[in-house]
Amino acid sequence: MYNFLLFIYFLYALIKACFDYIFHSKKKKDLLKRLGLKKYGFDPKNKTPIIWVHAVSLGETKACQSLISKLKTEHPTSYIILSSVTETGHIEAKKSIADKCIYFPFDFSYCIKKTFSQIKPHLIIFIETDFWPNFLKEAKKNQSKLVLASAKMSLKSTIRFSNFLLLKFSKKLFSTFDLILTQNEQYQKRFAKFIPIDKIQITGNLKFVNTYKLDSKDILNKWLDKLNPKKNNLITIASTHFSEEEKLITILKDIPNLKILLAPRHPERFVQVYTKIQKITSCSLLSNLTNPDAKVILIDKMGILDILYQISSLAILGGSFIDRVGGHNILEPIFLKTPVFFGPYMHSQEELKNIALKKNCCKQTSFDNLTHDLNKYFGDKNYQNMLISNCETLKNSNLNILEKTYEKIKKTI
């Protein structure tokens, strides 16, 4: 039944992939490898242990970078595979020191068996979520140790897994893990509904130990001169989804002395978003900066958000002004000493939201209150400096999470 439902999903995904390729020039990478029709090309040689880390998307991929570095330091002869599902996650993965970066195979029995015929991991670490039944089953057959690190479970997922029709399946699914390391006590209690609590430890959220490079003043000044020649108040609006850009820019376009750098979440939407924003206010593409004085510069280039946050006085994180997404990782700008505003829908990032609000280095707002909150922020220098200072405090308050996580994991290696 599971494989049949997966096949229905695959047909839908295949149709969507064809649509994206035709209309958005978005080619799905490694499709044949994910289907088990072509080898991944693993080359561990005599390296050991073989460790597979799976991080579904961009946020999880960034979160596991410090852990991978720690594993490499402590086990220099290891062979580390880093898998992802999304294109942005895969791009980020290739920046890591992992020995092999791949797209995660489809969870059909055939695909998974073909993958495990090519590689026999000693340890598989899932980051946060995105664990697949056939993969877990085959991993146990191959005697791989399974760890879920930085684990979280939403209330919605807890209710779904607890449904009497799924409860037996849920217990069997989670029992395959040798160890579950949760972000907090609340998540530990939720997982304990399905497996013995002695298999669940609290080690914290790996997103708190992300390392972010601070660029030199010369580099930052060059970007400032390029993107903000009139020296307005500069903000970066990042990771926005469909409908958010139009509403946010409509609200902010008439605020004086404000310059906006807009970075939509999905690259295939760049042209679509650019066309819509042009109808609202002056807008220029970063790749073709014909009007650097435009109110909005649309960032149609990947991998430069860190720089944009550093040259901005404020970040606004998308995915939080619409309820279907539930927010994104707000720590990235915070750890680069840039306060963050975000919307009312942060249910996918509940812990990050609560900790950041408690440390007072961010502000939760709404479409209705955004103009007022921005005017207050830019009009009160003491308030602005306090939030910036609190960003540094938050960054330094969770430095032991990596050590705690590794100490638990190393017992399974």
- Grouping H, G, I as helix, E, B as strand and the rest as coil, residue 31 is helix
Between CA 207 and CA 233 the distance in angstroms is 29
Helices (H), 35-84: 58-63, 65-74
Between CA 265 and CA 333 the distance in angstroms is 15
Do the bridges between strand 179-182 and strand 200-202 make them parallel or antiparallel, or are there none, so unpaired? parallel
End-to-end CA distance of the chain: 34
Quick one: pLDDT at residue 16? 61
When pLDDT is averaged across residues 17-35 and rounded to a whole number, the result is 65
Q: Judge if pTM exceeds 0.75.
A: yes
pLDDT beyond 60 at 3? yes
Do the bridges between strand 79-84 and strand 200-202 make them parallel or antiparallel, or are there none, so unpaired? unpaired
Domains, the chain, with CATH or none: 24-205+400-412 (3.40.50.11720), 217-395 (3.40.50.2000)
Of residues 333 and 6, the one with the higher pLDDT is 333
When pLDDT is averaged across residues 206-221 and rounded to a whole number, the result is 87
Quick one: pLDDT at residue 7? 65
65 class by beta-carbon count within 10 Å (0-12 exposed, 13-18 middle, 19+ buried): buried
Mean model confidence pLDDT for the chain? 91
Q: How many helices (H) and strands (E) does the chain have?
A: 19, 14
Quick one: pLDDT at residue 1? 64
- The region of weakest confidence among 25-29, 110-114, 288-292, 311-315 is 25-29
Between CA 53 and CA 63 the distance in angstroms is 11
Quick one: pLDDT at residue 81? 98
Quick one: pLDDT at residue 213? 77
- Give the whole-number percent of the chain exceeding pLDDT 90: 77
Of residues 108 and 314, the one with the higher pLDDT is 314
Quick one: pLDDT at residue 28? 59
Q: How confident is the model at residue 344 (pLDDT cuts 50, 70, 90)?
A: very high
CA max distance for the chain:
63
